[in-house]
């Protein structure tokens, strides 16, 4: 079972609309949670990073929220643009020794004109 | 201010051949990671280098996979006797390790190498 699950798998929205992507995780205890954006043919780029004590973090039109009690995070995109078309990946780093950063499979977002 | 670069960008090879993938991390980054991304799947950790420490190879899927990092900078991922299931995008990332747990820092990714094994 994946320790980081994202939904939906894919999403199509019209330009200018808002959308929210979900991330549920079972990793515990965890140190931080990140959202990455991956354009087609590119490597992922970090959008936000939150520690377990943070509830929200914004980066321009991107706002990430975190509920450490329910182990849920969301990424809200406001006033979407065509350039927002990409995969959005949720990444959780556990608060344990060794390297065990866990990546979700991503949500593929398509923004249509 | 170059980012992480990888080469080649695309590689098509025949089953059974060996391939080498190269990663040039951001200058000054002490940590380097290799991942594999199969179609529709999340990134799969392969190997992690940190400074002069022994690498964490716990993610390598088989002994056909190996990697080295020369001089604490450039890294090469080698896949011997490639199989069709090795077809994927191989991503490299680097980060500055400030003494915390591995993987805690923001990782900067290269564009990846798309490997297709026929």
Interface test with A, best of B50, B67, B101 (most A CBs within 10 A): B101
- The per-residue pLDDT for B14 is 96
Tokens of B103: 């993987």
* Confidence (pLDDT) at B98: 64
Q: Which residue has the tokens 């798998």?
A: A9
Among candidates B42, B101, B108 on the partner chain, residue whose Cβ is nearest the Cβ of A103: B42
Mean pLDDT, rounded, of chain B: 89
pLDDT for res B59: 87
Least confidently predicted of A10-14, A29-33, B27-31, B73-77 = A29-33
| Predicted local confidence at residue A13, as pLDDT | 97
Question: Which residue numbers in chain A have pLDDT < 50?
Answer: none
Query: What band does B5 get if pLDDT is binned at 50, 70 and 90?
Result: very high
DSSP string, B4-31: -EEE-SEEEE-TT--EEEEEEPPTT--E
What residue spans of B1-118 are helical by DSSP H?
none
d(C-alpha B92, C-alpha B77), whole Å: 10
Specify which residues A57 forms β-bridges with.
Answer: A64
Q: Which residues of B fall below an 8 Å CB-CB distance to A?
A: 4, 35, 40-45, 48, 56, 58, 91-93, 101-104, 106-112
Q: Do A2 and B110 touch (CB under 8 A)?
A: no
What pLDDT does A101 receive?
A: 77
Query: A82: which DSSP letter?
Result: G
Of A32-46, A58-72, B7-21, B36-50, the range with the lowest mean pLDDT is B36-50
- Judged by DSSP in three states, A32 sits in strand
Which residue would you say has higher pLDDT here, A57 or B39?
A57
Percentages helix, strand, coil for chain B, rounded to the nearest 5?
A: 5, 45, 50
CA distances from A92 to A4, B12, B104 (A): 7, 33, 9
- Asked if residues A73 and A6 have their Cβ atoms less than 8 Å apart, the reply is no
């Amino acid at each position: 079972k994946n320790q980081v699950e994202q939904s939906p798998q894919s999403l199509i929205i019209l330009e200018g609309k808002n959308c929210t992507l979900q991330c549920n995780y079972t990793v515990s205890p965890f140190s931080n949670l990140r959202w990455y954006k991956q354009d087609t043919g590119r490597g992922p780029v970090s959008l936000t990073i939150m520690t377990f004590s943070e509830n929200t973090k914004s980066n321009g039109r991107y706002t990430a929220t975190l509920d450490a009690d329910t182990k849920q995070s969301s990424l809200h995109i406001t006033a979407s643009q065509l350039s927002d078309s990409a995969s959005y990946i949720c990444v959780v780093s556990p608060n344990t020794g060794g390297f065990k950063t866990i990546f979700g499979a991503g949500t593929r977002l398509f923004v249509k004109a | 201010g170059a980012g992480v670069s990888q080469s080649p960008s695309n590689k098509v090879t025949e089953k059974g051949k060996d391939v080498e993938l190269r990663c040039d991390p951001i200058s000054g980054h002490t940590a380097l990671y290799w991942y594999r991304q199969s179609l529709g799947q999340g990134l799969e950790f392969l190997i992690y280098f940190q400074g002069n420490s022994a690498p964490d190879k716990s993610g390598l899927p088989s002994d056909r996979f190996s990697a080295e990092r020369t001089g604490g900078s450039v890294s090469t991922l080698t896949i011997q006797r490639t199989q069709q299931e090795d077809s994927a995008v191989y991503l490299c990332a680097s980060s500055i390790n400030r003494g915390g747990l591995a993987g805690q820092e923001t990782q900067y990714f290269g564009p990846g190498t798309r490997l297709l094994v026929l």
